[in-house]
Structure 1
Amino acid sequence: MEICYKRNLNQSYMFITSDPAYSGYQIHMCRQNHIHNLLQFEPVVSEGETQFRYEITGKRSLDHVLESSDFAIDMFAKMLETLLGICQEIRPYLLEEEGILLDPESIYLENGTKKFYFTYCPGRQEPVTEGFRKLMEYLLAKINHEDEQMVLASYEAYQKSTEEGFSLGEILRILYQYRQQDVEDYVPVRQKSVSSKKVEALQKGIMPWEQEKKDAAVEEKPTAKKKKGYWKKYEIDTIEKDDEYYKKDAQSRGWNMAMEEKLQECIAAISRIPAFLTGKINHEKEEEPIVCTPMDYKEMQEENPTVYLGTERAPEGVLRYDGKEDISNIRMEYFPFIIGSSEQADGNVCIQGVSRMHARITREKENYYVEDLNSMNGTWLNGKMLAYREKEQLCMNDVIQLGRERFTFL
């Protein structure tokens, strides 16, 4: 399956070269019935090959959206709700769910409304569950690890997606549970009674599991005999006081032992997933011996030259504004660099005709590239309109046009 993009002055399109196994019935049912949140498409025959043309005007793919936004739990739930709604709506038309594409490049969000749109490709035969599992592997690398709810929900959703026979409804229920309740509500009953040693550890800033390791390492010493009945009463009083103190202390600190342990396990597991998928986990690393050889001073200077630590800035690009509006030049100090009218854009151009996320400039070694982010009024480079995802190399004094506004690359 091949994907390419084209656009004209007013509309932007995605073209997918279909597999030869598609059926005319699927095309007919999709065209005759308006299915909510599915991209509308038309079959196009070019050079003996059948392509499907999807209109994507005013929309951005999920992978581009996540470059400038965090993947929050509300966005995750909304995406799943939309997908489940599509699966239910296409069943009466006898359309196969395997035709729904779940790769990040084929899932779109509409600018402004933030509605999700999915791509249906007739002839596609990948099961929805398999496509969703691959999507989860991609999303785990995009979540904000400081968002405890999202980390826990995503990891549990990924674990569920690896089980045989799971359903999308089960994944959605997991998200609902984490979204409607605070993380602190997930405390096992067995964790409610806490010893005085753990309370003292909390006061000193020691994590509970660290204190347990220290206690296990210390041998038990014989203690003097207590009076009959004294120890039992002291233990009951201490536990009651410790329980009351710990609850207040945990609330003031904003965390609890159970969720802290689970959160650390989730983060550690997520960090291991890419290596596990590629089969590159190596639990034991052999230390390479360090060999020191005499080096001539002149050779050392050639291999490790002294770097001047002055006020000179790192190489950067500048877009000089050539219009009549009150817009300052744009200095790009990091890449990728997104230009648009949104406050979240790296280079803010708040003027009519410029989309919220209009264009993106990237850098590869010493070369700069510009690409359009499916903007409403288009991006031009030296008079040539760029299609969505089309990257063009920038040279000195090239003219970039965003809508009607022009900039010169310096």
Structure 2
Amino acid sequence: MEIKYIRKHNDSFMTIIDEANAVEYETKMIDSNDISILLEYSILEIDGTTQYNYNISRKENLQDYLETRDYSLEAIGKIVLSLQIGLSELEKYLIDESHIFLEKDTIFLEKTNAGERLSLCYYPKDNGTIQQQFRVLMEHIVSNLQGGDRKKAEHIYAIYDICLKEDYTLEEVLDYLQSNSEEQPEIVVNKIEFDDGFDEDLEDNRIEDYFEDSSESLYDYYEKKKKKTLGGRLLSLNIFDGIKGLLEKKGESAISKSLKFEDFIIEPDTEIEEKTVLLKDSKPAGKLVYDGRDGAEDDYIITKDIFRIGSSKTNDAILNSKAVSSSHAKIYRENGEYFLEDMNSLNGSYIQGGILNYKEKVKLKTMDVIRFADVSFVFM
């Protein structure tokens, strides 16, 4: 099996090349129904091999998602919950669970204004049971744990112990995560005020609470609300439909709307950022020098083995341009050398004018010009 990544302007694709044979019944079911948990794909037959091409534009794979969040229990919990709900939907269409390819590189998440949405890879080959594949994912998570948070490590090892059982279920993993999650502080809520002509009175489906002073997302709020009203069980995959329906007025979608600016697509704001300058009085181990005259961005010293660049405040280099994705790119430091990798950004990462494919790793040299969307730096 071979996995490749291709970029075509603002779209990215993952291609799996193997000898998998399409299952006629499943293909018809997927083509005839909007199964939102599955990645969109097309099939191409070339020289006796089958290529499955998946649209992964604006999505982040599982490895990057968990790595960015330091393999937190909250992140793992969201994955398990979304996975369980998605598998429940696939059962309705009689999709063989062994045809869902659960790898750290084939599970994707997409950021929306309501949270993260999970997408699974349908690949009609015997990939093993969900339990077997999830066990391998947990092995990956355990092997990548870093020291420092003993309590988190104990919980993750406990989850892995559950997965070692022959007949374990994802529900057991969820039960453990929910019973060991930290209690959330009481949240003060305020009434939502719509600024773009939205009508507050939306019959029985009003959004009456707005988390003005809380970091909790609407996704988390509705997730907890559903758990409470449905006795702790989520019965529908369409977690975001209620929110999306309320925010859609006059044929325009407030969730999916994006603005064009020259050759770049502007991503919708999902969080409030504060400008952070990371230049410190330490010996440089690598440096990004802003190549602009407007002073809109800062210079950055690369002080980590994995140095992340994007517009989100979770990055090491926080860029202010609206054309830059929240998780745009990262720079690796290995044996004293530096490598650039794009994080499946919307508007792309460039080195010396050439755009990078997703997962393409390029060695950096002194005086290389690196561009993240419309923001240029010189690597020193």
Instruction: Verify same fold: TM over 0.5.
Output: yes
For each residue in 1:310-367, what CA deviation from the matched residue of structure 2 results, as whole angstroms up to 9, or x when unmatched? x993642333423534222222233221111122211121222111121111123243
CA contact (8 A) 1:73 1:149 kept: no
Amino acid paired to 2:134:
F
Q: How many residues align?
A: 282
Per the alignment, residue 61 of structure 2 pairs with: 61
Looking at secondary structure, tell me which structure has more helix per residue. Answer: 1
Identify the match of residue 332 of structure 1 among 281, 292, 302: 302
CA contact (8 A) 2:101 2:127 kept: no
Per the alignment, residue 129 of structure 2 pairs with: 127
For each residue in 1:37-57, what CA deviation from the matched residue of structure 2 results, as whole angstroms up to 9, or x when unmatched? 221111123444211111111
Distance in 2 between residues matched to 1:339 and 1:130, nearest whole Å: 34
Greater shift in the superposed pair: 85-94 or 54-63: 85-94
Per the alignment, residue 346 of structure 1 pairs with: 316
Residue 331 of structure 2 aligns to a residue whose secondary structure is: strand
TM-superposed CA distance for 1:372, in Å, is 0.6
Indicate the percent of aligned positions where both proteins have the same amino acid.
29
Per the alignment, residue 289 of structure 1 pairs with: none
Amino acid paired to 1:121:
Y
CA contact (8 A) 2:284 2:301 kept: no
CA contact (8 A) 2:17 2:50 kept: yes
Within 5 Å, give how 1:7-406 maps onto structure 2: 7-112=7-112, 113-142=115-144, 150-179=152-181, 313=283, 315-406=285-376
Amino acid paired to 2:12:
S
The structure that has the greater radius of gyration is: 1
Distance in 2 between residues matched to 1:408 and 1:349, nearest whole Å: 15
Residue 106 of structure 1 aligns to a residue whose secondary structure is: coil
For each residue in 1:4-28, what CA deviation from the matched residue of structure 2 results, as whole angstroms up to 9, or x when unmatched? 1111112111111244344233333
Distance in 1 between residues matched to 2:110 and 2:54, nearest whole Å: 14
Distance in 2 between residues matched to 1:96 and 1:69, nearest whole Å: 31
Distance in 1 between residues matched to 2:86 and 2:296, nearest whole Å: 46
TM-superposed CA distance for 1:146, in Å, is 5.8
TM-superposed CA distance for 1:148, in Å, is 6.6
Cα RMSD (Å) of the superposition?
2.5
Q: Taking structure 1 as the reference length, what is the TM-score of the superposition?
A: 0.63
For each residue in 1:275-301, what CA deviation from the matched residue of structure 2 results, as whole angstroms up to 9, or x when unmatched? xxxxxxxxxxxxxxxxxxxxxxxxxxx
TM-superposed CA distance for 1:116, in Å, is 2.0
Amino acid paired to 1:76:
I
Residue 66 of structure 1 aligns to a residue whose secondary structure is: helix
Distance in 2 between residues matched to 1:8 and 1:323, nearest whole Å: 30
Q: Taking structure 2 as the reference length, what is the TM-score of the superposition?
A: 0.68
Distance in 1 between residues matched to 2:169 and 2:282, nearest whole Å: 57
User: Which blocks of at least 5 consecutive residues in structure 1 are unaligned?
Assistant: 183-310
Amino acid paired to 2:105:
E
Amino acid paired to 1:72:
S
